[in-house]
Structure 1
């Protein structure tokens, strides 16, 4: 048995690209140790890896490091392995760049997106390079609650643009390693299909999605 997971579906990463003052306020308080995220990832209830986010500030810059490691196997035999690393740079609340490397079970991806004046230039090893003038785009790295306000996102694995629709759900009780928290659910459809939960402080606390008959879930440690 093998499981081939594509970044467009797995949505493995964490970031955002907010350019308005309202969006900046939405995540301005999310930096520091309390903003770090460490998720355990489950497939059909079985643990398969982690998704970790580390945030730190250096002057007026915010640096977000992301590490995702997933392994699916049979006993000690690893049948599928996914490793994604990504670094985002923000300055004064404005997205500046991300640079990612992915090993999707032997298929390698490298993407660099950089804000240059009135456009975002995107370079990738799998596909043509291009630039977009849509400065409201967010990367698919869901720590920023402004993600659910965007109809278009930059896929941080392959650098493609994903068109999405978001339905706002109800407040629910979400279990975490530190106990239950109240969080609002957002269902994403279109090129990406998943559900996200954010608590009342705007912190990302859960993700879930179906893939090829399996159920995947992030649980906050």
Structure 2
């Protein structure tokens, strides 16, 4: 194979390889103060086998001293819009949680979905799997009026949705192309956890 032909084939293949991976990197803040990041990496194509890796690292400080620490790593395997397996490890300020769900687990029967904010198909669900606890949670999902959100320093008009679960209320923000760009969640005590796409 000639070098020119190989270079041409590689140039044609690169867009397909690049489109097979999506990354959402969010800055996380608590009541407007930065506390860390949450990064989601999705590999695979819509309608086919996909793999999602997520990693969150939060440190809440008071007078320079860490008063709360959160670490979460998860690996999800999807077939189309159906969750097929989940492995997650969480350190919630010293409380350690581990979830291991393999294909065939009753929690994954039918077409289960996690709180996979990147996938707008969750907006049609009545229950979602909590990756931190490994439990199915009943949810109510409502569309909210469109509003503007800052994304990478630009004001963007976004569609908003609210997920109401047993212990939390989460607002999701999607830009005009349907890309997930933000999250606001009210925590116990009324604190506001926000994600903004970087």
Shared fold, TM over 0.5 = yes
1:1-221 equivalent positions in 2, closer than 5 A = 32-33=20-21, 35-57=22-44, 61-91=49-79, 94-116=82-104, 121=105, 131-132=106-107, 134-177=109-152, 179-191=154-166, 192-211=168-187, 212-221=189-198
Give ranges in structure 2 of 5+ residues lacking alignment: 1-18
Larger radius of gyration: 2
Equivalent pairs counted in the alignment come to 176
Q: 1:215 to 1:69 in 2, by over 3 A?
A: same
Q: Provide the TM-score with structure 2 as the length reference.
A: 0.81
Counterpart-to-counterpart distance in 1, 2:164 and 2:77: 27
Larger fraction in helix: 2
Residues 94-150 of structure 1, C-alpha deviations (whole Å, 9 max, x = no match): 43211100011111111122332xxxx1xxxxxxxxx24752321123111111111
Give ranges in structure 1 of 5+ residues lacking alignment: 1-30, 122-130
Larger RCO (alpha carbons 8 Å, 6+ apart): 1
Counterpart-to-counterpart distance in 1, 2:109 and 2:154: 39
Counterpart-to-counterpart distance in 2, 1:89 and 1:200: 27
1:66, distance to aligned residue in structure 2 (A): 0.2
Tell me which stretches of 4 or more aligned residues in structure 1 moved more than 3 Å. 91-94
- What's the Cα RMSD here? 2.0
Q: 1:186 to 1:99 in 2, by over 3 A?
A: same
1:136, 1:150 within 8 Å by CA — same for their partners in 2? no
Residues 158-197 of structure 1, C-alpha deviations (whole Å, 9 max, x = no match): 1111111111112222211152323211112131311111
Q: 1:171 to 1:88 in 2, by over 3 A?
A: same
Greater Cα offset, 63-72 or 136-145? 136-145
